[in-house]
Chains A and B, each alone.
Chain A
Amino acid sequence: MADFSWEVRSPLDRALVAGSYGAQGDAGVSLTEIRNFDLVQVMARRGKAGEMAKAAQARFGIAAPETPKAVDIADATMIWSGPDQFLVLSKGGKHTIEALAPVFVGSASLSDQSHARALIGISGEKARAMLAKLSSIDLHPDVFGVGAAAATSMDHTSVTLWRGGDHDGQAVFNLLVFATFAESLWHTILDSAAEYGVTIGHSEELA
């Protein structure tokens, strides 16, 4: 009998080469793939947006976003993904679809997206300049502040983009991209960032 190992491979496992890329010197863009996370799509059932919100409040102790925002709690982030729906991004198996199913029974439909996306953190002095090549939305700090989120497209590919808490005084953008598009978009990101110099890494866990 064969001995099976179920090795997990991120969609960027091959494409991501840790280290530096592009122009030499101080890197203007820093890219970090986060590989281990749970992601659950929560969509309110017809007429049940209010009940879904209550259930989320009870579970997470904070209101789920009703507008394009991302809300951080200790062990999860709720990210708006459309009207009456949001994504729950978490680590450590606390908010898996199995764990959340009883919470939203009757009020929302849940879909596991943990393997459907790649998650990339983008920061650095030139992060906005690089993102402007990919994203048609306005990322000016006055417009897209900490906690702002968007369901949008990059390079004709649907993405979820949100601004996390600043790190070392610099904005951090988080990007969820569909897994089968991830390698392609990754190369586009590298092309776009090359002129600024890039630091590339990955992390198993959400920060």
Chain B
Amino acid sequence: MRIICPFCGERELGEFTYLGDAKPQRPAADAGEDAVYDYVYLRDNIAGVMSEHWYHGGGCRTWLKVTRNTLTHEISAVEPAAGAGAAKVGA
């Protein structure tokens, strides 16, 4: 598999590390145990298009949000994490 890093260009899989579903958002500090439980443990196992976290650790060390079809491995979009680089204030 190859992933087009928005900063480095197309790179081979070996430069990246997979983390998992990029949808769940870390709950606010006061969200309570159930919300955090959901965030930590409850994951959709999607056969199809899924948004995933990948880390370009073998390259520019940017966390990426990769939209990938888990059935075909087709990647339809790659975007950097919100805090990649010196994220623009207010952007």
Contacts and interface: CB of A to CB of B under 8 A. Distances in A.
Interface of A: 43-49, 52, 67-68, 81-85, 136-137, 150-153, 156, 158
Nearest to B83: A46
B20 interface: no
Given A82-B7, A136-B11, A136-B12, A151 B60 contact: yes
A81 B84 CA distance: 13
Interface in B46-67: 57-62
B85 A83 contact: yes
A195 to B, nearest CB: 24
B60 to A, nearest CB: 4
B8 A150 contact: yes
A81 B7 CA distance: 10
A44 B85 contact: yes
Contacts of B27: none
A108 to B, nearest CB: 8
B32 interface: no
Contacts of A84: 85-86
Chain B, interface residues (CB within 8 Å), range: 20 to 34
B58 A152 contact: yes
Contacts of B15: 136, 152-153
A152 B14 contact: no
A90 to B, nearest CB: 22
A151 B80 contact: no
A113 to B, nearest CB: 14
Interface string B70-91: 0000000000100011111110
Given A81-B60, A153-B14, A153-B59, A49 B8 contact: no
A118 B13 CA distance: 26
Given A83-B80, A137-B11, A153 B86 contact: no
Interface string B25-59: 00000000000000000000000000000000111
A83 B7 CA distance: 7
In the A-B complex, list the 3 residue pairs whose CB atoms are closest, starting with the nearest.
Answer: A83-B85, A47-B89, A44-B86
Please indicate which of the listed interface residues B14, B58, B84 has the most CB atoms of chain A within 10 Å of its own CB: B58
25 contacts: A43-B86, A44-B85, A45-B86, A46-B86, A46-B87, A47-B89, A48-B86, A52-B86, A68-B7, A68-B8, A82-B60, A82-B61, A83-B62, A83-B85, A83-B86, A84-B86, A85-B86, A136-B15, A150-B8, A152-B11, A152-B15, A153-B15, A153-B58, A153-B59, A158-B57
